[in-house]
Homo-oligomer: A and B are copies of this chain.
Amino acid sequence: MKLADAKAQFIQSWGSLGAQWGINRTMAQIHALLMIMPDPLSADEIMAELNISRGNTNMNVRELINWGIVDRVLIPGERKEYFTAEKDIWKVATEIARERKRRELEPIIKTLNQLQEVEGDAKDKHVKAFRDSIQNLNKFAHQTDKAINSFVKAEESWFYGTLMKLFK
């Protein structure tokens, strides 16, 4: 397979994978492109490679930067901004885990706490079933929270970081 075809296939696969996980296709594609490029790209290069508009490029690059998995790079003497992606997929995974936790898990925990205070007679089986479900979910959410924290910390800490390299 030629490099150009392989690149195209990778970008398109990464894009549809992202889509299945609730991440906008273009955003995932830009990320894929930046991951496999040895050097930073400018907005124009991204537009050209993926055939997308400037506005779209700008929006999605900005969002990737918010997620912490793409960085702005300034090349001395150049006015244009360049962009580059973290190449270590483990770091990418921990960043994504951290972000999704913050954006999704934390709000869920808040909602669950509110829902636990539902009124009603504990003998009513509907009330009981509801309370049980929420409690069950709450425990699960807290456990998941802890698990993500250790995952994120493992990557951050030097000690576990070294340990993890054994797996990689």
Binding site for B on A (CB under 8 A): 1-3, 6-7, 9-10, 13, 17, 19-22, 35-38, 87-90, 93, 104, 108, 111, 114-115, 117-120, 125-130, 132-134, 136-137, 139-140, 143, 167-168
Chain B residue nearest in CB terms to A118: B6
Q: Which 7 A-B pairs give the minimum distances between C-beta atoms?
A: A38-B129, A6-B118, A22-B22, A38-B125, A89-B140, A20-B22, A36-B133
Given contacts A6-B118, A36-B129, A89-B137, 11 further A-B contacts (CB under 8 A): A1-B115, A1-B118, A1-B119, A9-B111, A9-B115, A36-B130, A36-B133, A38-B128, A87-B129, A89-B136, A90-B140
* Minimal Cβ-Cβ distance residue in B for A6: B118
Instruction: List 24 A–B pairs whose Cβ atoms lie within 8 Å, in order of A's numbering.
Output: A1-B117, A2-B118, A2-B119, A2-B120, A3-B126, A6-B118, A9-B111, A9-B115, A10-B134, A19-B22, A20-B104, A21-B21, A22-B22, A35-B133, A36-B129, A36-B130, A36-B134, A38-B125, A38-B126, A87-B136, A89-B137, A93-B140, A143-B167, A143-B168
- Partner of A6 from B10, B90, B115 at Cβ < 8 Å: B115
Q: Are A115 and B17 in contact (CB under 8 A)?
A: no
Chain B residues contacting A132 (CB-CB under 8 Å) are 87
Report B-chain residues with C-beta under 8 Å of the C-beta of A120.
2-3
CB distance from A119 to the nearest CB of B (A): 6
